[in-house]
Structure 1
Amino acid sequence: MKIAIIGFGNMGQTYASSFVSSGFIKSDDIFVLTRDLSKVSNRYTIPDANFFTECSASFLSVDIVIVAVKPQDFNKLCLQIKDFITENQLILSVMAGVSIENISKKLQVKKIIRSMPNIPTQIGQGMTVFTASQEVDRKDLFIIQNLINTTGKSLFLENEEMINSSTAISGSGPAYVYYFMNAIIDSAINLGFTESEAEFIVQQTFLGSTQLQNRSNLSNLEWIEKVASKGGTTEAALSIFHSYDLKSKINEGIIQANARAKELGKLIDK
């Protein structure tokens, strides 16, 4: 199986690294199209001859084409590659907001996977939500899911509209986590910890908490009850969160992120 990766930014490099390190795809069978070879600092044992700056029939003599360019660059890219794409190839898109219909129309292909990965894919701990056009069969889905899972975990959804929703949840989610971590770090510094001490404490607290939750059958609410003893310090903090209706505010923020994802999708599809 041969794979072409179009775009060698963070996501393109993540796939190249994950495919090679997992042994799922041989480095000789990975081909890369990038605008500037001088900016390619790590080739992940992919042969130099497999790197291209212009599309050609030899570059796209592959089974799977991964489109990992910025959404706003897609229209220009189509002009370069559409004459070399064949109807038997499977297209995997990681472009936010670009619909299956738009990809199909501009590249004249039918077998399309649309996905939304998040940034922890860079360390093999990512979350990718994906969907597929009706022409993609179970065998193709199985292959794609195995590829995606080299970067973490994945979830297939039949409803393409949910890709926008996953953008607001898992795609943007790491930033929500970092935002809350940073707020706690600032609070720790205000209580007298040094910046390095605060970062160390908070990072380990988040890491330990998520691992504990993952290894148990208890819900988040049940874990909150275990930590928050009646009349204790945790309950005092939670009462402030509740008084400001923090849960509702988080929900409002995610709804806004979802709405923006839909807006961007409409702009890109024009």
Structure 2
Amino acid sequence: MFENKTIAFIGSGQMAEAMIAGIIDQKIMLPEQVIAAGPREERARELAARYNIRTTTDNREAAREANLLVLSAKPQILDEVLPAPPETGAEHCDFVLSIAAGVSLGHLVARFGNERMVRAMPNTPAKIGEGITVWTATQAVGEQQRSQARAILQAFGEEVYVDHEDNLDMATALSGTGPSYFFMLMEAMVDAGVHLGFSRRIARKLVFQTALGAVLYARATDEHLVSLRNQVTSPGGTSAEALYHLEKGGFRTVVSRAVWAAYQRSVALGGGKKVSQRLGSPRPGTELDNDI
């Protein structure tokens, strides 16, 4: 699928490294087929030594050598990483894959001069091969190119294709930003454990394994989350008492507002208008890092 192909990353940050590691570890492509471009020579040497890939500080050079181009720079500087068309170097690529949050397909096509554009929203667990990436593509991206994009994204976790680009902003709020919500919850639980009297080491172990076990159990049983919660909530018991205080403290409302705020921010980053919604009302049609 990738014979005689070269993939170049414009932006050599943490998410780019996660993708590079997955591509090489899963033998999607060979190290000599990968180029990482970024502004810092020290970072270039680090990636070259770690993965035996080619590196450069010249973004345009990397784009010109690539058959597949990944835009992995932060959205705030994305427009600055390559010259304007027709001199971007991206025009000839089989397709261009962007992981810049909030940057629309229309803007990407106009800015980089290639109609074969894929837009994806990965998340940080990609760094250990456990990410989830939501992605879409322009109509100009053919079936073979979509298969190539899917193979690249599956190299560092699971992937979900969506037909409508609007779903990318929704995914940014739910799965893209989602790890930070869980990190904060686990942080709060660890702190509570320390307050109870556990050492931080033991509190972390208890919380981390509890979180991991809960997720694996939920996936294995495929039961409704309400049913799973009820299984561990006895009348008058400790879980019932704890959940009462979470509900009383507005836990669900705070989470809902946080996810909605992240969605609004993603829309704003893409130049869209801020969307207003009354909390609790379903939104129509919703059935269903310099470097990053």
Q: Answer whether TM exceeds 0.5 for this pair.
A: yes
Deviations 1:216-260 (A, max 9, x none): 121211110111122211011111122233212211111111111
Hey, what does 1:34 align to over in structure 2?
Answer: 38
**Aligned equivalents of 1:237, 1:34: Cα separation in 2:** 48
SS of the residue corresponding to residue 120 of structure 1 reads helix
Deviations 1:173-205 (A, max 9, x none): 001001111111121122111221211111111
Mark the runs of 5 or more structure 2 residues left unpaired by the alignment. Answer: 273-292
Partner amino acid, structure 2, of 1:248: T
SS of the residue corresponding to residue 183 of structure 1 reads helix
**Aligned equivalents of 1:27, 1:98: Cα separation in 2:** 29
- Following superposition of structure 1 onto structure 2, how do residues 52-91 of structure 1 map, counting pairs within 5 Å? 52-56=56-60, 60-79=64-83, 83=87, 84-91=89-96
**Aligned equivalents of 1:10, 1:225: Cα separation in 2:** 39
- Conserved in 1, the CA contact under 8 Å of 2:68 and 2:96? yes
Distance 1:33 1:237, change over 3 A: same
Distance 1:60 1:213, change over 3 A: same
**Aligned equivalents of 2:197, 2:47: Cα separation in 1:** 42
**Aligned equivalents of 1:154, 1:95: Cα separation in 2:** 16
What is the CA-CA distance between 1:45 and the residue it aligns to? 3.4
- Conserved in 2, the CA contact under 8 Å of 1:4 and 1:33? yes
9, 15, 19: which one aligns with 2:19: 15
Higher RCO (C-alpha under 8 Å, 6+ residues apart): 2
SS of the residue corresponding to residue 115 of structure 2 reads coil
Instruction: State the Cα RMSD in Å.
Output: 1.8
119, 123, 128: which one aligns with 1:114: 119
- State the identity as a percent: 23
SS of the residue corresponding to residue 270 of structure 2 reads helix
Deviations 1:63-97 (A, max 9, x none): 21001011121121131785222245200001111
**Aligned equivalents of 1:224, 1:57: Cα separation in 2:** 54
Hey, what does 1:250 align to over in structure 2?
Answer: 255
- Conserved in 2, the CA contact under 8 Å of 1:33 and 1:52? yes
Hey, what does 2:285 align to over in structure 1?
Answer: none
Mark the runs of 5 or more structure 1 residues left unpaired by the alignment. Answer: none
Partner amino acid, structure 1, of 2:140: E
Instruction: Pick which of 102-111 and 237-246 moved more.
Output: 237-246
**Aligned equivalents of 1:81, 1:46: Cα separation in 2:** 31
128, 147, 150: which one aligns with 1:145: 150
- Conserved in 2, the CA contact under 8 Å of 1:55 and 1:81? no
**Aligned equivalents of 2:35, 2:257: Cα separation in 1:** 42
Hey, what does 1:3 align to over in structure 2?
Answer: 7
SS of the residue corresponding to residue 206 of structure 2 reads helix
SS of the residue corresponding to residue 69 of structure 2 reads strand
Distance 1:97 1:68, change over 3 A: same
Is 1:45 matched with 2:36? Answer: no
Hey, what does 1:183 align to over in structure 2?
Answer: 188
**Aligned equivalents of 1:216, 1:24: Cα separation in 2:** 32
**Aligned equivalents of 1:19, 1:81: Cα separation in 2:** 29
SS of the residue corresponding to residue 42 of structure 1 reads helix
Hey, what does 2:130 align to over in structure 1?
Answer: 125
Paired residues in the alignment total: 265
Partner amino acid, structure 1, of 2:110: K
- Conserved in 1, the CA contact under 8 Å of 2:118 and 2:137? yes
- So what's the TM-score if we normalise by structure 1? 0.92
- Conserved in 2, the CA contact under 8 Å of 1:30 and 1:46? no
Instruction: Pick which of 98-107 and 258-267 moved more.
Output: 258-267
What is the CA-CA distance between 1:261 and the residue it aligns to? 1.2
SS of the residue corresponding to residue 113 of structure 1 reads strand
